[in-house]
């Protein structure tokens, strides 16, 4: 509906959002650019800017209809974007970092999403040189488009329970891939729904009647020319989802489909085609390292995921005014900025602190991962082939290596904690925007919905906590037996044992290192409690799952608190940032730690890490920190450096033109407003549009 | 895509979901029908069944495309449903209860939603007999379709801050309704986006330059024949939302629109057209009672809202099997039902308990409301007109009446708590379904998204807690001054004072009434703490908002625990249900109370309502209760009596045919699977469908 002239003349009531954000930025002495460079490096920021220019110049990447489109239109548009991104990648000879940066700015999963990640990675890591020639090269050139088909309709996390079978047929040297039941249908497989021509199918390998467990097979699923499903293949899209609707998650049923011997990815396990002899992998935990890297990356991202919501909500709560302060003098006319209310600060600012906490934690994890890779590669056979550059091959991995085991447990605990915090925090941010948070134009709801699978994939967040607990119990047993390796986990367990008869006396409000130590104490206490339940009281594993989940969460919180503190204490930090900024970062550290301590109060006093009085004082100290951080809130979110185009949010606009943008989108972009409706119940007419009349 | 014959022959791997649910039902001796009748009455259940038959027989109400449709198609279909519901209402002469029951079964907001609720209610309650003739009668016959336009783009909760003006013009006895700024655009107005012909507009009444605050005006917005916006009216739909997309929330800007004197709803406040004299309402809190009723209804509904998610998740977790029990003997083949894992029980069963807790609490509130209405109507002038039958008019209300003030505070606290529990609980249920919870076919995601506005409307859940705190502080001051009225709130405050020098000794694990009393003690403790901060330490209102929110939550939890316990202890309950069922209900009561106590542990020990040891034991007792309730879980959700048609969920099917249904919907109903895709990045072709080819 074209706006009338009197509508076009309207402006928001004063003070305008743009003015309010200006005032906010004037109130703080933080240099957001400097902080941004410290967080991301100057190079990364420049790269983002360069790629942003390319994307915004191309109408294919126009976002203005995203919130209005239905599923089919969205996935069609997303395929177009995916194709163009690939074209740009070739045209500009983008590095992997540049390509991923473009995807981040686009901020939607595309139908190529699983092709360029899991499909390529699996072929690369698990294929032989012959298979690289046959499949990987074509896949890298997008001559075949693939996906990774593991999960089944009836089987998620439990890979060993998969039903799909791959039966070796020595007579003609083929495998028969078969889906025996409806529940064996592959399900949720990204990029399979409409685009994949090939799938890496995980299937139970059966040789001469013996089951060797799940193995990967390359299975063609659609005709390379017509793109129709191949004979005996039933493949399609699994339908609409809560979010992620630009991705074609698919299903796949195979009716005794025959594939040649070479289609079993054979770098680690193989069948000798002549003797039918099966060769076992030297080490069954083949992708230990890859999974650890993927999880470390989820942790790092969880900070920026949450930061998007916090950026939007913080800016909008600085623009939005509602009610007067209850104690304000009658003379103080005008409504109060919502961000001035302590109830809003209490919801938002600890999340602001969490964004930095998770960022530093993720960065620390990636660094630990890289150090470990380096250490292992130093001791590696020099004759190693070059194809494992980006991800570690099995020979580089020795799960017995304590550092790797520690890193793996850490990655499990932090993946579960970080992604849960990010997902739940986004929803808190959305609600902190009040009614307008519910509009798609807030930009938070759809992003939240798209992010949610992260709490389930790469290890369900609850399932993962069992692995963390198992590792901590094992470490505790080693410490008690005097056989523990030297790492941070055994250090905190030993420190606890050394003082358990003296008790703790952590000065959590007076000393930052004591604050970190109190979190360590709680982890050690819960570990030995769990150990007592399991080893002495012989309680069943199942009966302890809730304890294990609590333990894993406590472990994650300790590591986040420690990583945040370590990052701030590094000389590099002290040299890169002015003292004022460092002071605010320390306040954010304290807010994160004390807020968490308060949320988990009962475990802190039960473990005697703190007294009850200290918890009461922690509440008070948190409220004081909110007040201190409040003036810097807008500049702190500015440091996250999200371009408006990336956020695609009316509420989170960096210029504060919230209401103008909301109104423009509703009034000018909304196709529903072109419909003429017959509203009366006794008329059968519903909609009239473009000459079409629909009827009841 | 038509399934091939080999696909059609596939069944899920054994044991089938239908078999597993049968076993579940066989394990429990609860008579779900009997419990259902106790919860809802036999009449209500029969009514549901009768209306369900009507709806499912009519293709207009077909739900099979709901999850696939885009916004425009959905709202078009929803308008069709709304029209047909209205036709059925007339045809079958439905009572209001029957009409609302049909809407519940349909489970989607329709574009008539605000017409038949707020528009009719406002006209009825705030209109004079003349205005009833002029507007209400036509509205009741759907000759005009209306909405209630209060919220503005720049103003939500703070009604006094509204910008829209209504200026009295004595010369021609009219009002000029005007939107001075962009931020004064009415926004979020349900039923306004595409259907309303009229709006009740809340605008600042200005007479001779003096502002009398917000008042309601009936404003025609669209032509009665062409349905085009009237001159100087800018009206439309606000665009897509996180949920609720079958409703046409609208915006409205008015450019000096003139309306006659009679269009100001004048039952309470009016302008004398001859003298321009303004008559003030006798009592400014006109809709105190109505709001209380609306909130009581939200509390009652929050139980059933949550029960939908719990029903779906519980059934699916009984059908879904994943991993073997860690401690199982190798001989015990087969995977374990997910519902057997304590981590799943810990997430789901306290929510199951919450559904009953909220149901009984809501029922208790409605009863208290009705008793209060009766009491007030007994003392009411017999000459009262009949038009206030359904909602109390202002003369019936005396905010000084202690019971009403108590009821009002209670309704605020419970609305905030109940709707938060329901919204967040639904998301917990969705995640407890694992990966498949993310599919639209789970039926939880869209329902959650549709429910979310409830945490914001009828009083934002955080804002409301200030009203509760204000009431509790006032009560505490009255108690200290020895001037308190006799009600439950003052009773618990007095009980606390009487024992504050002796301390509490609640046997929370041994006695159910002590458990209730411990919750009361915590409320009283927090009330006097807040009072000290405010009255003695003179802390600012703003600095106490977080304390007030905690206090209100504590108050709500106490009332829920008390209501649940009271409901079970009633003779009617003891007479209606067999002892086995009552035993399980008491276990659910204890689980709810102990789980809440554990979650809020720090307030219980800080107030010395319990010892630290008791909290540890409460954890243990909760785990034991999970085990005891587990075998009855499926029958307990069966008692909620949701027809499959209402849930519209593959995962929550009462017959357990989860995988068959998921597969059917994805494979046969999914229009995306009719598209032929060109997947290669160098081809400009995207989709081919119905002879159309789309290109990049």
| Best CA proximity match to A256, nearest among B666, B10, B16 | B10
Predicted local confidence at residue A282, as pLDDT: 64
Q: Indicate which of B435, B450, B684 best probes the interface with A, i.e. most A CBs within 10 Å of its own CB.
A: B435
Q: Which of A36-50, B189-203, B320-334 has the lowest mean pLDDT?
A: B320-334
What the block records as the tokens of B319 is: 């059908």
The 10s digit of each residue's pLDDT in B96-116 is: 999 999 999 999 999 999 999
Contacts of B538 in chain A (CB under 8 A): none
State how far the alpha carbon of B112 is from the alpha carbons of A310, A579, B69, B451, in Å. Answer: 36, 59, 20, 17
Predicted local confidence at residue B579, as pLDDT: 94
Q: What number of other Cβ atoms are within 10 A of residue A396's Cβ?
A: 20
Asked whether the predicted pLDDT for residue A107 surpasses 60, the reply is: yes
Predicted local confidence at residue A583, as pLDDT: 97
What the block records as the tokens of B503 is: 């301390």
Contacts of B251 in chain A (CB under 8 A): 663, 666-667
The 10s digit of each residue's pLDDT in B114-144 is: 999 999 999 999 999 999 999 999 999 999 9
Query: What's chain A's average pLDDT?
Result: 92
Please give the Cα distance from A176 to A257 (Å, whole number).
Answer: 5
Predicted local confidence at residue B395, as pLDDT: 38
What the block records as the tokens of A401 is: 């290596």
Please give the Cα distance from A494 to A475 (Å, whole number).
Answer: 10
Predicted local confidence at residue B381, as pLDDT: 43
Predicted local confidence at residue B333, as pLDDT: 63
Dihedral angle, C-alpha A655, A658, A660, A665, nearest 10 °: 120
Task: Over range A44-73, report the average pLDDT.
Answer: 96
Predicted local confidence at residue A325, as pLDDT: 76
Task: Over range A363-382, report the average pLDDT.
Answer: 77
Asked whether the predicted pLDDT for residue A103 surpasses 80, the reply is: yes
The 10s digit of each residue's pLDDT in A394-432 is: 333 343 456 778 888 999 999 999 999 999 999 999 999
DSSP state, residue A170: T
Predicted local confidence at residue A404, as pLDDT: 79
The 10s digit of each residue's pLDDT in A221-266 is: 999 999 999 999 999 999 999 999 999 999 999 999 999 999 999 9
Predicted local confidence at residue A280, as pLDDT: 82
Query: What's chain B's average pLDDT?
Result: 92
Contacts of A60 in chain B (CB under 8 A): 696
CB pairs under 8 A between A and B: 397
B335, closest residue in chain A (CA to CA): A161
* Whole-number percent of chain A with pLDDT over 70: 94
Task: Over range B38-64, report the average pLDDT.
Answer: 97
Instruction: Verify whether the Cβ–Cβ distance B606 to A615 is below 8 Å.
Output: yes
A670, closest residue in chain B (CA to CA): B239
**Active site residue ranges of B:** 458
The 10s digit of each residue's pLDDT in A128-154 is: 999 999 999 999 999 999 999 999 999
A474 contacts: CB under 8 Å, gap ≥ 6:
none
The 10s digit of each residue's pLDDT in B604-638 is: 999 999 999 999 999 999 999 999 999 999 999 99
Instruction: Verify whether the Cβ–Cβ distance A11 to B181 is below 8 Å.
Output: yes
**Given pLDDT bands bounded at 50, 70 and 90, which one contains residue A331?**
low
Pairing of strands B165-169, B198-207: parallel
Residue A313: how many CA atoms within 13 Å on its side-chain side?
29
Q: Are B506 and B515 in contact (CB under 8 A)?
A: yes
**Active site residue ranges of A:** 458
A675, closest residue in chain B (CA to CA): B194
Q: Give ipTM to 2 decimals.
A: 0.94
Q: For chain A, list the domains and their CATH numbers.
A: 58-108 (no CATH), 115-281 (2.40.110.10), 289-637 (1.20.140.10)
Q: Which of B67, B73, B341 sits opposite A545 (nearest CB)?
A: B341
Between residues A455 and B333, which one has the greater pLDDT?
A455
Task: Over range B239-258, report the average pLDDT.
Answer: 97
Q: What residues of A are designated binding site for FAD? A: 151, 190
Asked whether the predicted pLDDT for residue B375 surpasses 80, the reply is: no
Dihedral angle, C-alpha A686, A688, A689, A690, nearest 10 °: 140
What the block records as the tokens of B349 is: 């069963």
Contacts of A453 in chain B (CB under 8 A): 435, 438
**Given pLDDT bands bounded at 50, 70 and 90, which one contains residue B401?**
low
Coil/strand/helix, residue A283: coil
Q: What are phi and psi of A353, to 5 degrees?
A: -60, -40
Residue A341: how many CA atoms within 13 Å on its side-chain side?
25
Task: Over range A40-61, report the average pLDDT.
Answer: 97
Asked whether the predicted pLDDT for residue A83 surpasses 90, the reply is: yes
Pairing of strands A257-260, A174-178: antiparallel
Predicted local confidence at residue A631, as pLDDT: 98
Please give the Cα distance from A583 to A180 (Å, whole number).
Answer: 62
* Whole-number percent of chain A with pLDDT over 90: 85
Instruction: Verify whether the Cβ–Cβ distance A341 to B545 is below 8 Å.
Output: yes
Contacts of A439 in chain B (CB under 8 A): 238-242
Predicted local confidence at residue B3, as pLDDT: 61
**Given pLDDT bands bounded at 50, 70 and 90, which one contains residue A390?**
very low
Between residues A482 and B380, which one has the greater pLDDT?
A482
Predicted local confidence at residue B406, as pLDDT: 86
**Given pLDDT bands bounded at 50, 70 and 90, which one contains residue B678?**
very high
Å between B426 CA and nearest CA of chain A: 13
Predicted local confidence at residue A283, as pLDDT: 59
B452, closest residue in chain A (CA to CA): A438
Instruction: Verify whether the Cβ–Cβ distance B70 to A67 is below 8 Å.
Output: no
Q: Indicate which of A239, A624, A684, A693 best probes the interface with B, i.e. most B CBs within 10 Å of its own CB.
A: A239
- Consecutive H or E run containing A488: helix A488-499
Instruction: Verify whether the Cβ–Cβ distance B242 to A438 is below 8 Å.
Output: yes
B554 contacts: CB under 8 Å, gap ≥ 6:
B519, B522, B523, B526, B600, B603
């Amino acid at each position: 509906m074209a706006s009338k002239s009197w509508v076009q003349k309207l402006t928001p009531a004063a003070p305008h959002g743009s003015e309010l954000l200006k005032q906010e930025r004037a109130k703080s002495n933080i240099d957001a650019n400097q902080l941004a460079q410290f967080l991301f490096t100057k190079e990364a920021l420049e790269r983002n800017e360069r790629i942003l220019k390319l994307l915004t110049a191309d109408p294919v990447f126009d976002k203005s209809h995203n919130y209005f489109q239905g599923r089919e239109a969205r996935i069609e548009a997303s395929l177009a974007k995916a194709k163009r991104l690939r074209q740009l990648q070739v045209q500009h000879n983008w590095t992997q970092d540049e390509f991923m940066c473009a995807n981040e700015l686009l901020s939607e999963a595309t139908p190529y999403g699983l092709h360029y990640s899991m499909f390529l990675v699996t072929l690369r890591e698990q294929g032989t040189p012959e298979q690289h020639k046959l499949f990987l090269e074509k896949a890298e050139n997008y001559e075949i488009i693939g996906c990774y088909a593991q999960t089944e309709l009836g089987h998620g996390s439990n890979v060993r329970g998969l039903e799909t079978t791959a039966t070796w047929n020595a007579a003609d040297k083929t495998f028969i891939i078969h889906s025996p039941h409806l529940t064996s249908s592959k399900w949720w497989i990204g990029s399979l729904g409409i685009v994949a021509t090939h799938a890496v199918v995980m299937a139970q390998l059966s040789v001469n009647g013996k089951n060797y467990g799940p193995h990967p097979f390359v299975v063609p699923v659609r005709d390379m020319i017509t793109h129709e499903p191949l004979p005996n293949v039933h493949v399609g899209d699994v339908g609409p989802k809560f979010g992620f609707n630009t991705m074609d998650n698919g299903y796949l049923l195979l009716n005794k489909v025959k594939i040649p011997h070479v289609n079993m990815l054979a770098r680690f396990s193989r069948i000798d085609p002549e003797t039918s002899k099966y060769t076992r992998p030297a080490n069954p935990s083949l992708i230990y390292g890859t999974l650890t890297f993927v999880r470390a990356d989820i942790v790092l991202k969880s900070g920026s995921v949450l930061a998007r919501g916090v950026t939007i909500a913080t800016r909008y709560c600085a623009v939005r005014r509602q009610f007067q302060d209850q104690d304000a003098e009658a003379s103080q006319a005008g409504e109060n900025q919502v961000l001035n209310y302590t109830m809003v600060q209490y919801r938002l600012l600890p999340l602001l602190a969490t964004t930095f906490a998770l960022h530093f934690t993720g960065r620390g994890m990636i660094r630990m991962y890289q150090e470990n890779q380096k250490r292992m590669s130093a001791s590696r056979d020099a004759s190693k082939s070059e194809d494992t550059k980006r991800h570690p091959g099995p020979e580089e991995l020795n799960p017995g290596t304590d550092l790797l085991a520690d890193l793996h447990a850490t990655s499990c605990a932090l993946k579960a904690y970080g992604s849960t915090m990010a997902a739940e925090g986004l929803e808190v941010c959305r609600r902190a925007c009040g009614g307008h948070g519910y509009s798609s134009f807030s930009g938070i709801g759809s992003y939240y919905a798209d992010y949610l699978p992260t709490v389930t994939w790469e290890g369900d967040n609850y399932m993962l906590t069992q692995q963390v607990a198992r590792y901590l119990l094992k470490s505790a047993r080693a410490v008690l037996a005097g056989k523990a390796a030297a790492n941070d986990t055994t250090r905190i367990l030993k420190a606890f044992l050394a003082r358990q008869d003296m008790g703790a006396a952590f000065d959590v409000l007076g000393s930052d290192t004591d604050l970190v130590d109190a979190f360590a104490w709680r982890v050690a206490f819960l570990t030995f409690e769990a150990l007592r339940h399991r080893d002495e009281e012989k309680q069943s594993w199942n009966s302890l799952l809730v304890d294990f989940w609590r333990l894993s969460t406590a472990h994650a919180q300790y590591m986040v608190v420690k990583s945040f503190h370590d990052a701030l204490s590094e000389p590099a930090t002290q040299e890169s940032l002015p003292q004022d900024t460092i002071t605010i970062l320390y306040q954010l550290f304290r807010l994160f730690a004390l807020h968490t301590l308060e949320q988990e109060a009962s475990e802190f006093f039960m473990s005697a890490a703190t007294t009850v009085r200290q918890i009461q004082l922690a509440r008070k100290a948190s409220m004081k920190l909110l007040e201190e951080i409040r003036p810097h809130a807008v500049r702190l979110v500015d440091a996250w450096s999200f371009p408006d185009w990336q956020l695609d949010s009316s509420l989170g606009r960096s210029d504060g033109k919230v209401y103008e943008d909301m109104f423009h989108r509703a009034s000018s972009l909304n196709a529903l407003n072109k419909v003429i409706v017959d509203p009366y119940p006794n008329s059968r007419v519903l909609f009239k549009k473009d000459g079409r009349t629909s009827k009841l």
